[in-house]
Structure 1
Amino acid sequence: MVLEVSECGNARPALQFFQINAEFKHITTMPLQSRFLSQLDLLSEGLLRVFAKRSGEQGKKLKDMMTDDIDAGRESLIKGLCIYLNENPDILVQEYMDMTEATALSAIEKTTVGIYITRETPGNDFSDVGIIIKGVVVLQDLDNVAVATALLFGLFYSLNMRYPSQLRYTFEVIPKVVMELDVTQLSRKAQSLKTKLLQ
């Protein structure tokens, strides 16, 4: 089974989850979503320790975003990984708050690749997490940012898509350090992070 981006946008969410997870398992022989979440949880203590050693503006950003809530904590770890690797987490995860649906759709259409979040605000009880590829929402109604990140990675992997250059280190660390898929030929940044996690 080979997934196409056009298929992702037309399928029902439950089918999309199944297709992405099944294709990833077919290619790698490992489950996608459960593996990503369990590995992220396993590495969380080490990542927090590494993040805590950062100083300056980057260190302050990393400290300010940490939380005890498990879903928000996973989201913070993913965003923290971007910050630690000197990449902008707002490119990966875009939050739309206090926007009309038309304004949000306009912003989504300008997005090449990423995860979007609409959060509940006073007077607006709607919230959603989804994935955008080439300005099109291909998945929506996801549980949280961590699940969306796993599925976005699975889409990249299954569709053999090129990772966005602004997030190249984040998308190097996810498969090679978090998922432990291919640990050869790490960049200096990824190798440095892996070494610090093992200390």
Structure 2
Amino acid sequence: MSRSFTDARDWMTAGTTMFITAAAGLTEADYDAPTLLPGWRRRQLISHVAANADALGNLVHWAATGRPTPMYASPDGRAAGIERGTTMAGAELDAWLRRSADLLATAMAALTDEQWATRVVTAQGRTVPATETPWLRAREVYVHAVDLAGDIGFGDLPDVFLTALVEDITAKRGAVPTDDGPLPEVAAWLAGRPHTLVGAPALGPWL
């Protein structure tokens, strides 16, 4: 594995700043513009990222208290979080995005080493130590910063993060990345996003 717990926390911090900065100053029309995810508007994507911070905060609460707290209260909880944001005005949505990110970072900063070792269960049903949550968040904010379809591309993300991302997606997809393309393009392809690789098979969106 080419990432450490410290790496993941650093990427989460930097990726959160990148996403919030990219989403700042949008007009109401900008919020309704399409993203790189088929069928998703920026308003939905930003809602998803804000709700994701709240959901991961539930896992951090689990680690802090020892009381099982799932990411979402019900199977349709993820969709409900996205829907919640689509009814908000832009300023309200931006405030939720920032507030949820701050609350997650604060909760993580309060965990002890012993609490970080607590086993929690992701929305996909995987049992992992709480130390995995910063990586889960780093993926969300960095990849979705690209999905906003603004000025950020995979080439703007740190190479060390992209290397870890390629490893992670490859392990889950079972796909073997090509050695012939630039790292950002390989990462974009594996993530199911637009890329410039020639002859790479089509992959659906991941994450």
Structure with the higher strand share, 1 or 2: 1
The TM-score, its normalising length taken from structure 1, stands at 0.31
TM-score for both structures, normalised by structure 2: 0.30
